[in-house]
């Protein structure tokens, strides 16, 4: 089996090049050669892969990883041959199933060569010329049609398809607007990201029933997060209010399109609600546009018998405009109507107030989110705790934070214990371990050492509890664990100068478990009893 694995970026480069240079039939023959095990001696030499492929006779192939057009084969075929194709599939094998990749590449090849149905040669040339470049004055819907044309036939058939699509779109589409005026170019870039989001959602929906849906879903979610980060980066580098003033027609068309994407409440890897609210928040000066959007949302909300998810999206969107206008109370009243509230949907506001250091506003939102955070997933719960901890540092007292952490136990255990140690509340820390029956053997040595240096006596009940609990398990292994704990307990009593208390304790322990012969033997080995 082939053991050579080239870097992922080089593999993605080859995947993009194959449909541009191969005929579908030749590529399929290359897969058959690979499938029959005809590829051998695959080796990396500089920036090229060299291999031997068995046809009617042996052929030597070279696949250039930096300039695919310079790839070559010793056979007599004029162009990119099945031997190069077979080597390519051998290189792809460590990444996924070559037969699935073959189907996607064939679709791309057919799409590239497919003529327009019923079109004359003159019409084909005209349409092809029109599709070669988007028009600066065209509306965003026309840009999206151009994007679709560029990626017509692209589908998911292997794990890295989504990643390939994401990279390819960002590499190939921005250059068409290089000579446009800056305001229009920025809006165009925004639409490239919206197009990628829409396609990723489409891929996700199309592959949900596939037996590889787990891999596709995971890939879609990663690409979706990358798109959201890219959109945030783009919009933070833009003055959207200035863009609106310069290109009102295009910005209004953008907002209309965004509303269509974001407020359907569909199951999607894209957090459309975040995208919608993020962009509208950065258009705070556009009061007229806001009023029109509010009217539209109110009209949609007045309709009866809407799916719960769609209604939730509309409620969250409408509440967002209350927040933009500074009316948080009205927003909260509206959000109480949500059928399925999710804490993560409101981290957008926490992040905004955190970056703006508006700690009182942070506290208002943290208190409101508290009732829904107990059912949140692990990542959202962790984010909530971290936001509250960061906010606490800017308040006069941490009493509310401590109360919240105690009420959220046991989920908040790690955050709460870390905070107790950080603030040197060692007695509370020990009490928490006792309440949760945590053995000191399961705690970090540095944590125990910090308490021991502060006041070693605080650790006595922790070791007492753990030692007796180990004895009660009544087996040889647990007795050895108990003795290990007793050794540390003995050293603490010795450190405190309380040898008499130690002897009294160990004899009382031996008497309490006098019927456990194996435990008595372990105590005698430790020379604690005779």
Summarised one tens digit per residue, pLDDT across range 69-116 is 889 999 888 889 999 999 999 999 888 888 888 888 887 777 665 543
pLDDT at 3: 60
Looking up tokens 């950080």 gives: 422
pLDDT at 86: 93
pLDDT at position 47 is 86
Label residue 443 by pLDDT band (50, 70, 90). Answer: very high
Instruction: For 12-57, list the strands marked E by DSSP.
Output: 39-45, 48-54
The more confident residue out of 7 and 280 is: 280
Q: Kindly report, residue by residue over 259-299, the tens digit of the pLDDT.
A: 999 998 888 899 999 999 999 999 989 999 999 999 999 99
- Identify the burial level of 182 via C-beta atoms within 10 angstroms of its C-beta, where 0-12 means exposed, 13-18 middle and 19 or more buried: exposed
Mean per-residue pLDDT over the chain, rounded? 88
- Residue 160 pLDDT > 80, yes or no? no
pLDDT at 231 over 50: yes
pTM: 0.68
Give the pLDDT score at 354: 94
**Who has greater pLDDT, 78 or 241?**
241
Task: Give the pLDDT confidence score for residue 477 in this predicted structure.
Answer: 92
CB 44 within 8 A of CB 6: yes
Averaged over 116-143, what is the pLDDT?
64
Lowest mean pLDDT among 1-5, 448-452, 524-528: 1-5
Q: Where is pLDDT greater, at 527 or 316?
A: 316
Per-residue pLDDT for 444 more than 70?
Answer: yes
CB-based contact 342:315 (threshold 8 Å): no
Kindly state the average pLDDT of the residues 32-38.
90
Q: 242: closest CA among 234, 251, 253, 255? A: 251
C-alpha–C-alpha distance, residues 52 and 73, integer Å: 9
3-state SS, 480-506, equals HHHHHHHHHHHHHHHHCCCHHHHHHHH
Q: What is the DSSP letter of 134?
A: -
Helices (H), 132-236: 140-150, 161-172, 182-206, 213-236
């Amino acid at each position: 089996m082939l053991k050579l694995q080239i870097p992922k970026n080089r593999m993605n480069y080859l995947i993009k090049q194959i449909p541009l240079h191969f005929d579908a039939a030749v590529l399929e023959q290359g897969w058959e050669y690979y499938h029959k095990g005809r590829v051998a001696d695959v080796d990396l030499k500089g920036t090229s892969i060299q291999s031997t492929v068995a046809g009617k006779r042996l052929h030597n192939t070279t696949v250039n990883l930096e300039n695919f057009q310079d790839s070559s084969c010793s056979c007599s075929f004029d162009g990119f041959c099945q031997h190069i194709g077979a080597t390519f599939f051998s290189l792809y094998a460590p990444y996924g199933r070559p037969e699935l990749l073959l189907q996607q590449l064939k679709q791309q090849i057919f799409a590239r060569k497919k003529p327009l149905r019923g079109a004359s040669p003159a019409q084909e040339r005209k349409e092809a010329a029109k599709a070669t470049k988007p028009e600066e004055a065209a509306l965003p819907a026309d840009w999206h049609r151009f994007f679709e044309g560029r990626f017509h036939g692209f589908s998911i058939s292997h794990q890295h398809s989504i990643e390939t699509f994401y990279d390819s779109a960002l590499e190939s589409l921005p250059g068409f607007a290089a000579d446009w005026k800056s305001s229009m170019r920025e809006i165009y870039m925004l639409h490239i990201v919206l197009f990628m989001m829409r396609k990723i959602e489409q891929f996700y929906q199309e592959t949900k029933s596939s037996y590889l849906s787990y891999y596709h879903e995971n890939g879609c979610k990663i690409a979706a997060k990358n798109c959201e980060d890219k959109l945030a980066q783009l919009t933070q580098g833009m003055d959207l209010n200035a863009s609106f003033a310069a290109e009102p027609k295009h910005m209004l068309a953008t907002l209309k399109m965004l509303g269509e994407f974001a407020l359907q409440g569909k199951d999607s890897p894209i957090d459309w609600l975040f995208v919608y609210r993020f962009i509208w928040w950065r258009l705070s000066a556009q009061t007229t546009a806001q009023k029109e959007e509010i009217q539209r949302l109110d009209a949609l909300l007045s309709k009866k018998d809407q799916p719960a998810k769609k209604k939730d999206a509309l409620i969250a969107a409408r509440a967002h405009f209350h927040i933009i206008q500074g009316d948080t109370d009205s927003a909260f009243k509206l959000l109480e109507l949500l059928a399925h509230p999710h804490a993560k949907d409101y981290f957008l506001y926490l992040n905004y107030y955190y970056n703006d250091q508006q700690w009182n506003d942070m506290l208002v939102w943290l208190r409101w989110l508290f009732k829904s955070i107990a059912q949140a997933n692990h990542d959202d719960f962790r984010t909530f705790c971290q936001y509250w901890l960061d906010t606490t540092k800017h308040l006069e007292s941490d009493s509310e934070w401590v109360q919240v952490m105690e009420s959220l136990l046991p989920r908040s255990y790690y955050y709460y214990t870390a905070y107790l140690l950080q603030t040197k509340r060692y007695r509370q820390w020990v009490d928490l371990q006792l309440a949760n029956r945590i053995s000191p053997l399961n705690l970090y040595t540095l944590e125990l050492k910090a308490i021991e240096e502060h006041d070693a006596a605080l650790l006595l009940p922790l070791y007492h509890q753990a030692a007796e609990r180990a004895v009660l398990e009544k087996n040889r292994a647990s007795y050895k664990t108990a003795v290990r704990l007793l050794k540390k307990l003995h050293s603490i009593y010795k450190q405190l100068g309380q040898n008499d208390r130690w002897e009294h304790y160990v004899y009382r322990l031996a008497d309490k478990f006098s019927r456990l012969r194996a435990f008595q033997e372990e105590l005698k080995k430790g020379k604690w009893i005779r």
